[in-house]
Amino acid sequence: MDRIVITLPDGTELEYPRGVTAEQVAKDISPRLYKEALAARVNGKVVDLATPLEEDSQLEVLTFDSEEGRRVFRHSSSHILAQAVKRLYPEAKFAIGPAIENGFYYDFDVPESFTPQDLEKIEAEMKKIIAADYPIVREEVSREEALAYFAGRGEKYKEELIRDLPPDVPVSLYRQGDFVDLCAGPHVPSTGKIKAVKLTSVAGAYWRGDEKREMLQRIYGTSFPRQKELDEHLRMLEEAARRDHRKLGRELDLFSIHEEGPGFPFFHPKGMIIRNELESFWREVHLSRGYQEIKTPIILREDLWKQSGHWDHYKENMYFTEIDEQGYAIKPMNCPGGILIYKSRPHSYREFPLRLAELGLVHRHELSGVLHGLMRVRSFTQDDAHIFMLPEQIKDEIMGVIDLTDYLYRIFGFDYHVELSTKPEKAMGSEEDWEMATRALREALEEKGIEYKVNEGDGAFYGPKIDFHLKDCLGRTWQCGTIQLDFQMPERFELEYTGEDGEKHRPVMIHRTCLGSIERFIGILIEHYAGAFPTWLAPVQVKILPITDRHLPYSRRLAQRLKEARIRVEVDERNEKVGYKIREAQLNKIPYMLIIGDKEVEEGTVSVRSRSQGDLGAMEADRFLELLKGEIEAKAAS
């Protein structure tokens, strides 16, 4: 009766008196596990190690090696941060302090914002708290007690949090030394577990993410169980910074952005090659999948945007101009233009699904603080398409777009995740339409067996959407592909088709992008490949390096031959040592270097050096060309 059975992940069953703690069990399993234990998963729920086990349980001891273990570790780190801030700035009010990917943050309301010097002081204080190794103890209290405690200390944010808690959940506090915080937990057993900690940055952040509310000071940090791991993490961040597309874009002469046009990127000749290769591949794939390409104007009359709903729902993001005393808008989206093409003649159900694709240049007024290299700009080219169809074609079409997007991303070896966004507060259309549209998207995802995250209220103003997100070098995710189902525009523009029954009906419309914006996608590509593009995308595919100027004529003839085979080739004719030329070609991340000296001229060969594998030795020029063409044709990842 007072003994319970604890089942470990490997199936081992252990018998214990009722009320034993996970900590005790860990100690018995192995001293090493006990030392590394941070929390425990008991019957699926993550709890403190000190939680008494009251019934037969599945038990998993969590360490830093697990996702949940890391979350608990970082979350406890944020409490140590809060305690340090409390000691140094007693007047600080506390908001929230969660674990995030690779670290944690805590939001504070302080009269003056923190400086980098403050961070050093706070970090030093945190180290004292860690050295003191305070036990972290959970207490459950009533809402009234909790409210009284925090209200009495002027902790208005905590007070608000408690008031917003669902009435049935217990309110828990965590205490470490002189510091008490409202927190659901769980936490590591004591502050000494956090061996290595580093505060990384300060930033402003709105309370509850609402720009109308207080601006708080957010301190970001990260922590690890060993100093070595922290150092490794910091080293990886430095490594990642070397892949930054803004840095590589300048170094490789791909694009630039100027003060004269913040958020309006300029593409240089080498950047244009990547862009054009990408676009021609895109065209090929779309034409083969039943899309037709269109192009619509950038400037269109104001009344069009009133009719589309953009005037009411998107005006603050739009640019306007005037022509002959008439108001015009610069398009922020391509849909109204596509719709005008649709409306230019009558349609039959037999044409459906009608897939009209457009590489459309749109302009959007984004807030100055959000601009970021090519990732967030104010003018960009969407690989857009509008699909007009029968309601019963919706699911197949959505699945077709999912397939197409997956196909495109796989070519580049991208990992992505998918989100489903539902009806926002300011939206057009009836509740029923939204429900139907959202259900169609959800069903398509489920039928495809794709995992997705739901973003409530994040849809476009005319319909719900599925978004595809890709990661940049620092792990920040950017929305690229999107599929948006729209019942509103067809209604507003009174779109029609003649059905099988000879009557007029209203078509359904999908807005979709796969790459998203060409600019953003190129930004992601640059970081993904760290500038070393696969040969099919590389601005210069082959650099010919003559050893002396007597090898120039052969080099030039060779270059001519490669050019005729449509290879992007350059000859380094400068009077420099071959080591110097190699170094430069290597830094420019050119896939192949051909070294040409007396031997090669005599034998009609080329000495091939690959940027990734180094010296490959000599081969017949024809043989090299064949291999190269094969690699380009296959769009091989290099």
Partner RNA sequence: GCCGACGUAGCUCAAUUGGCAGAGCAGCUGACUUGUAAUCAGCAGGUUACCGGUUCGAGUCCGGUCGUCGGCUCCA
Binding RNA (rule: CB under 7 A), the pick from 132, 454, 474, 565 is: 474
Residue 252 CB neighbours (<10 A): 22
Q: Is the distance from CB of 483 to CB of 459 less than 8 angstroms?
A: no
Site for RNA in 556-575 (CB under 7 A): 575
Residues in 95-124 that interact with RNA by CB under 7 A = 113, 115-116
> Is 81 within 8 Å of 126 (Cβ atoms)?
yes
CB of 428 to RNA, least distance (A): 14
d(CA 531, CA 64): 33
State which residue, 176 or 482, has the beta carbon closest to RNA: 482
Only one of the segments 291-299, 445-453, 555-563, 582-590 lies at the binding site for RNA (rule: CB under 7 A); that segment is 582-590
Hey, how many other C-beta atoms are within 10 angstroms of the C-beta on 474? 13
Q: Which of 377, 402, 441, 571 binds RNA (CB under 7 A)?
A: 377
Catalytic residue from among 70, 75, 465, 568 = 465
Tell the smallest beta-carbon distance from residue 131 to RNA (Å): 28
Residue 240 in contact with RNA, rule: CB under 7 A? no
- Separation of alpha carbons 60 and 12, rounded Å: 11
Given the residues 331, 386, 543, 581, the one annotated as active site: 386
Which one, 191 or 421, has the nearer CB to RNA? 421
Q: Which residue is catalytic, options 187, 310, 469, 511? A: 511
Residues near 123 by Cβ (< 8 Å), separated by ≥ 6?
84, 197, 198, 199, 221
Q: What would the x/- binding string for RNA be over residues 295 to 334, using CB under 7 A?
A: ----------------------x-----------------
Number of residues that bind RNA (CB under 7 A): 78
Annotation says 364 is catalytic:
yes
Assess contact for 81 and 75: CB atoms under 8 A: no
511 is catalytic: yes
Q: Are 218 and 204 within 8 A, CB to CB?
A: yes
- Which of 83, 176, 382, 393 is the catalytic position? 382
Rounded to whole angstroms, the Cα distance separating 512 from 467 reads: 10
Which one of residues 382, 535, 555, 638 is an interface residue with RNA (CB under 7 A)? 382
Let me know if 258 is a catalytic residue.
no
The 207-236 contact track toward RNA, x by CB under 7 A, reads: --xxx---x-xx------------------
Residue number, 211 or 431, with CB nearest to RNA: 211
Backbone angles phi, psi at 381, to 5 degrees: -105, 115
Least separation, in Å, of the C-beta of 185 and RNA? 23
Q: Return left, alpha or beta for 553; rule: phi > 0 is left, psi -120 to 50 is alpha, else beta.
A: alpha
Of the candidates 116, 95, 128, 136, which has an alpha carbon nearest to the alpha carbon of residue 199? 116
Ranges of beta strands (E only) in 207-238 are: 215-224
In the complex, the smallest distance separating the C-beta of residue 274 from RNA, rounded to whole angstroms, is: 16
- Active-site residue 347, yes or no? no
What are the structure tokens assigned to 50, written together? 């000190």
Strand intervals (E) in 520-633: 542-546, 569-571, 592-596, 605-610, 614-620
User: Of 156, 306, 372, 448, which one interacts with RNA (CB under 7 A)?
Assistant: 372
Among positions 75, 198, 376, 423, the unique one binding RNA when judged by CB under 7 A = 376
Interface residue with RNA among 507, 609, 621, 624 (CB under 7 A) is: 609
Judged by CB under 7 A, which of 593, 625, 628, 632 binds RNA? 593
Q: In a 10 Å sphere around its CB, with 0-12 CB exposed, 13-18 middle and 19+ buried, how is residue 285 labelled?
A: middle
d(CA 362, CA 394): 26
Strand, helix or coil for residue 425: coil
- Residues 121-180 binding RNA (CB under 7 A) are none
Tell me if 184 sits within 8 A of 171, measured CB to CB.
no
Q: Which phi and psi (to 5°) does residue 408 adopt? A: -65, -45
Structure tokens at 326: 């008439």
Q: Which of 351, 576, 620, 622 binds RNA (CB under 7 A)?
A: 576
Task: Identify residues 423-462 at the interface with RNA (CB under 7 A).
Answer: 424, 458, 460
x/- mask, RNA, residues 247-266, rule CB under 7 A, reads ---x------x-x--xx---
Note if 465 is an active site residue: yes
198 is catalytic: no
Angle, in degrees to the nearest 10, between helices 552-564 and 621-633? 40
Q: Which of residues 392-421 bind RNA (CB under 7 A)?
A: none
Determine whether 622 is an active site residue: no
- Closest separation between CB of residue 480 and RNA, Å? 5
- Amino acid (1-letter code) at residue 269: P
| Candidate list 32, 153, 599, 623; residue touching RNA; CB under 7 A | 599
Number of Cβ within a 10 Å radius of residue 93:
18
Which residues are the active-site residues? Answer: 335, 364, 382, 384, 386, 465, 511
